[in-house]
């Protein structure tokens, strides 16, 4: 039995993680569940899965949670709830399904405690990589043991495609037989919209994703293509890749989750129906494959298309490559400035097209940082958010 701590259990990935645990209950145990504010759903989940520990970050929700629980688990309250739930001694696998940078400290602590982490959250992987002095890919401990299992479907695909390949030592991709990895992107709801019309995009429009049903932040990021930009940075961190080894291709059907281009000309692709529970199950049951809970991929009438991304209309991709070329401070600035700009957009305080302008503005500022400690990168994060927020159309 694997003891699992689900950080962000009430969100889109968290709920789907619990679907997998429900289906594979003879092998997987929800040992701890943690959320921010949704006490009602957290209590409902706890009453079903009976975890030993329940964490809630928003202290004001404690009484509601306590009142709705039908048993007496240990309850952890306050902003460190995710850190504490991820660091529990009895936990074998920590699922990072918290949204945004909020997941960072919890996985930094879980890693420090040498826990195996399965992360859907890309922002916190980018931050985690920046504080590590060892140049190894994030996916492995320096000794070669697995440290992180990717849940993000693209990274899970890359991992599944290279895992066990005798030519790839420790998944160190660019030292071996890999020409590049190819991340697929759905393109989001506005991919074919003329740029002149894109300034009228409302929050409501942007929250309707054609393929995936996800949390607010990642849905907006999918519409701007910042999600793919973050995945470029995430892939670089996880697999130890330079910017010239990462390609992006638009693939609206989201059936091919990503590809690996080998130097001998062969390209491997990983396919399944677009359902995150496929990647989540792979991480939860790793290293074994267990019977699917997702639908079978039907090839009887399947048309797949691929095209190059439009980096003029969607600057998020170009800016991500710029951040990766610098590779030290700019990945943090890119991530933090985007999060701040998305917060303004969802509050109707900035336009859709201004999100990338705010990020570019923050990236063009000067940051000083001698060594990449947690305090130092959180200071860069704070400054980048201030710059992204202060941007005005005239600057």
For ligand NDP, which residue of 21, 29, 30, 36 counts as binding (CB under 6 A)?
36
Instruction: Considering the complex, state which of residue 171 and residue 219 has its C-beta at the smaller distance from ligand NDP.
Output: 219
Strand partners, 185: 250
Site track 206-225 with ligand NDP (rule: CB under 6 A), x = hit: ------x-xxx-x-------
Instruction: Considering the complex, state which of residue 219 and residue 350 has its C-beta at the smaller distance from Mg ion.
Output: 219
DSSP-assigned letter for residue 136: S
Long-range contacts of 281-287 (CB under 8 A, 24+ apart): 281/20, 281/24, 282/156, 282/160, 283/95, 283/118, 283/149, 283/150, 283/151, 283/156, 284/2, 284/4, 284/17, 284/20, 284/21, 284/24, 284/28, 284/93, 284/95, 284/118, 285/24, 285/27, 285/28, 286/149
Taking CB under 6 A as the criterion, which residues in 149-168 touch ligand NDP? 152
Instruction: Considering the complex, state which of residue 81 and residue 319 has its C-beta at the smaller distance from ligand NDP.
Output: 81
Report the nearest approach of ligand NDP to the CB of residue 370 (Å).
29
* Total residues interacting with ligand NDP, rule: CB under 6 A: 31
**Per CB under 6 A, does 32 bind ligand NDP?**
no
Give CA–CA dist 317/311, Å, rounded: 6
**Per CB under 5 A, does 84 bind Mg ion?**
no
**Per CB under 6 A, does 186 bind ligand NDP?**
no
Instruction: Considering the complex, state which of residue 152 and residue 275 has its C-beta at the smaller distance from Mg ion.
Output: 152
Helix (H) or strand (E) holding 358, with range, is helix 354-363
What does residue 171 show for φ and ψ, rounded to 5 degrees?
55, 25
Q: Please give the C-alpha separations between residue 193 and each of 190, 214, 224, 352, in angstroms, as whole numbers.
A: 5, 22, 12, 13
Instruction: Considering the complex, state which of residue 103 and residue 137 has its C-beta at the smaller distance from ligand NDP.
Output: 103
**Per CB under 6 A, does 62 bind ligand NDP?**
no
Q: Tokens in use for 102? A: 């909020």
Q: Tokens in use for 374? A: 């947690």
DSSP-assigned letter for residue 11: S
Q: Count Cβ neighbours within 10 Å for each residue of 323-361 and write b for 16 or more, e otherwise.
A: bbeeeebbbbbbbbbbbbbbbbbbeeebbbebbbbbbbb
**Per CB under 6 A, does 101 bind ligand NDP?**
no
Taking CB under 6 A as the criterion, which residues in 250-279 touch ligand NDP? 276
Site track 2-31 with ligand NDP (rule: CB under 6 A), x = hit: -----xxxxxxxx-----------------
Site track 134-173 with Mg ion (rule: CB under 5 A), x = hit: ------------------xxx-------------------
Instruction: Considering the complex, state which of residue 152 and residue 381 has its C-beta at the smaller distance from Mg ion.
Output: 152
Give CA–CA dist 180/119, Å, rounded: 23
**Per CB under 6 A, does 110 bind ligand NDP?**
no
Report the nearest approach of ligand NDP to the CB of residue 8 (Å).
3
**Per CB under 6 A, does 108 bind ligand NDP?**
no
Instruction: Considering the complex, state which of residue 97 and residue 383 has its C-beta at the smaller distance from ligand NDP.
Output: 97
Q: Please give the C-alpha separations between residue 72 and each of 53, 54, 63, 85, 95, in angstroms, as whole numbers.
A: 9, 10, 13, 16, 23
**Per CB under 5 A, does 234 bind Mg ion?**
no
**Per CB under 5 A, does 275 bind Mg ion?**
no
* Total residues interacting with Mg ion, rule: CB under 5 A: 3
> Among 194, 199, 168, which residue's Cα sits nearest to residue 181?
168
**Per CB under 5 A, does 123 bind Mg ion?**
no
**Per CB under 6 A, does 184 bind ligand NDP?**
no
Q: Count Cβ neighbours within 10 Å for each residue of 136-160 and write b for 16 or more, e otherwise.
A: bbbbbeeeeebbbbbbbbbbbbbbb
Taking CB under 6 A as the criterion, which residues in 291-350 touch ligand NDP? none
Report the nearest approach of Mg ion to the CB of residue 153 (Å).
5
What does the binding site for Mg ion look like in residue numbers (CB under 5 A)?
Answer: 152-154
What does the binding site for ligand NDP look like in residue numbers (CB under 6 A)?
Answer: 7-14, 34-38, 57, 81-82, 97-99, 102, 120-123, 152, 212, 214-216, 218, 276
């Amino acid at each position: 039995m694997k003891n699992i701590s689900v950080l962000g259990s009430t969100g889109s990935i968290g709920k789907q993680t619990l679907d997998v645990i429900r289906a594979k209950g003879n092998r997987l145990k929800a040992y701890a569940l943690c959320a921010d504010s949704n006490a009602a759903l957290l209590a409902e989940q706890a009453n079903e899965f009976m975890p030993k520990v329940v964490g809630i970050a928003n202290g004001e929700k404690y009484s509601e949670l306590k009142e709705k629980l039908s048993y007496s688990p240990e309850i952890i309250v306050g902003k460190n709830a995710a850190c504490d739930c991820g660091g529990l001694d009895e936990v074998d696998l920590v699922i990072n399904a918290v949204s945004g940078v909020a997941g960072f400290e919890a996985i930094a602590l879980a890693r420090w405690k040498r826990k195996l982490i399965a992360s859907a959250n890309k922002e916190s992987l980018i931050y985690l990589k920046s504080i590590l002095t060892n140049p190894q890919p994030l996916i492995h401990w320096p000794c070669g043991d697995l440290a992180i299992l990717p849940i993000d479907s693209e990274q899970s695909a890359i991992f599944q495609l290279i895992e066990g390949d005798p030519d790839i030592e420790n998944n160190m991709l660019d030292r071996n037989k890999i020409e590049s990895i190819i991340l697929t992107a759905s393109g989001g709801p506005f991919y074919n919209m003329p740029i002149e019309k894109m300034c009228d995009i409302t929050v409501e429009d942007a929250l309707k994703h054609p393929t995936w049903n996800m949390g607010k932040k990642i849905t907006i990021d999918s519409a701007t293509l910042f999600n793919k930009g973050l995945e470029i940075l995430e892939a670089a961190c996880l697999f130890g890749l330079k910017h010239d080894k990462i390609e992006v291709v638009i693939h609206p059907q989201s059936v091919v989750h990503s590809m690996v281009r080998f130097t001998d000309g062969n390209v491997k692709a990983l396919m399944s129906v677009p359902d995150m529970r496929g990647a989540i199950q792979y991480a939860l049951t790793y290293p074994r494959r267990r019977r699917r809970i997702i639908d079978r991929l039907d090839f009887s009438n399947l048309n797949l298309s691929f095209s190059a991304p439009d980096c003029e209309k969607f600057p998020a991709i170009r800016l991500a490559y710029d951040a990766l070329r610098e590779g030290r401070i700019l990945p943090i600035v890119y991530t933090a400035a985007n999060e701040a700009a998305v917060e303004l957009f969802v509050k109707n305080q900035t336009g859709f097209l201004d999100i990338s302008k705010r990020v570019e503005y923050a990236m063009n500022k000067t940051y000083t940082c001698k060594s990449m400690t947690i305090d130092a990168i959180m200071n860069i994060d704070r400054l980048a958010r201030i710059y992204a927020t202060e941007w005005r159309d005239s600057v």
